[in-house]
A and B are shown apart, each in its own frame.
Chain A
Amino acid sequence: MTGRLPRWLGGVTGSVLLFLHLPILILVAFSFNASRFSAGWAGFTLDWYRAMINRPDILRGLSLSLQIGLVSAIISTVLGTALALALHRYRFRGRATLESAMYVPLVTPEIVVGISLLALFAALNVSLGRVTILIAHVAFSISFVTVIIGARLAGMDRSLEEAALTLGADEFTTLIRVTIPQLMPGVVAGGLLAFTLSFDDYVITSFVTGSGTSTLPVVVYGMVRRTIEPTVNAVSAVVLAVTTLLIYLADWISRRGTE
């Protein structure tokens, strides 16, 4: 179906876009607002960004978020790639069940994931802290990574691997020299998405975090509960910028790879 966009449909689309993005735009705007009480515009300032980098709790939270994001992205990408290969390249008993099971975490409410992980750690008597946050982040990222890489594997020409086999490469050599290089765009995109998911998660993290180990979103939430201070706007704008950039990067890499 092609042709000119009807006026009513254009109106709906415009309204939805505005509704989705206006709050974010206001938040970003107020992060530069000189007024402390966020009501009206009192002039441009970078004070809240300056205040942000002088707050040790924010910097610690940022540092922890970056570390956990990086490590959980690496672990979930490696495991997710392995899972995607198992699901899409081999036949085994329970394959179909496992494949549908991969989609369950994508639609499970975060609060349910958080509570169940907390219950698991409590049952196993694991003390809450960096390790439990890391395990939780790996757990909810793997499904996303597996689905992204699986999509790329499904679209990949099987004859490339078959050509390698007929040229004398065994299964492992074929995996290393042909399959993985072909999957790289999906692997990188999956890794970036995993990092983003980890970097901005609050709900699940709040269940499995221990005292003294607060990721950036947890720190921000703590700040909001006490007072509305414009520094929160600045921190949120930074988180927003980082995640948006990474999502676009992931999307761009996976698109470029399929062309």
Chain B
Amino acid sequence: MPSVGAALGGGGATAAPAQRPRRNWVPYALLLPGLLWLALFYATPMVTLGSQSLQEGNVYDGFVFTGNLSVYPQALSEYWPQLLRSLGYAATATFFGLLLAYPLAYFMAQKAGRWKNIMLILVIAPFFTSFLIRTLAWRIILSDGGVVSDFFERTGLINLLEWLTLTTGGTLLNSKFAVMAGLTYNFLPFMILPLYAALERLDPRYMEAARDLYASGWQTFRHVIWPLSLPGVVAGTLLTFIPATGDYINSRLLGNTQTVMIGQVIDSLFLRVLDYPQAAALSFILLIMIVTLVALYVRRAGTEELV
């Protein structure tokens, strides 16, 4: 028997080198469509936009590439209030989104039982209507004499908003409040879904273990539930903050001249003023700001510790 085994073993050993290590091209082939897509619709426009920002001229006489970098400080000094405002509005919308979404996602993931799927569908349902129409609907929701407006007047909350300079003239519409409310609403599903995914994976036995180890409800949340849901929090806040910063629909439809956001500025520079270099430069500034903030945030949240 041992000799047979040895012979078989020897045969295997000689056969092995004959099999040349084949280059496995399948993974690269699978990457290809995605790479092509990115090259065509991401890298190319970025390069175009970058070169556009360094051009001079106008639409009638044409633009010429001059490598003129001064457009950047110019754009920044002219539009920094809109830039900061956008970041502020987006941060506020993200904060309130988190505040609204977290308990809802927690309930859906841990307590809803057979209602879970119905609730999920309800969360996704707004996507069946276009972003623009949903935002327009908020004009009706917040309009004078409507239920919401009535409620704010009766409870005196309108005075609080006035005092906070979130609204002016006793109306909810066309105000900072309306813009931030619209942003919060529009990006809420992007907050709820990642939170739901994270909280759904949360094993209820950890909560039981915490209770068993003398943790009160708040302590259980603070020391167990919240840290274990951080991946969802990070994903949700990013998915809300980033698009909210660049949004220009909410501020146009629900705001006033004092609530102009950077997206709106870029939009009008491109399509109305036709100052392409300045618009392209502002786009880049916005991009760099967001990337920097996100990098700092992700680093701070320490995502590598979360998995």
A binds B: no
**Residues in A lying within 8 Å of B, measured CB to CB:** none
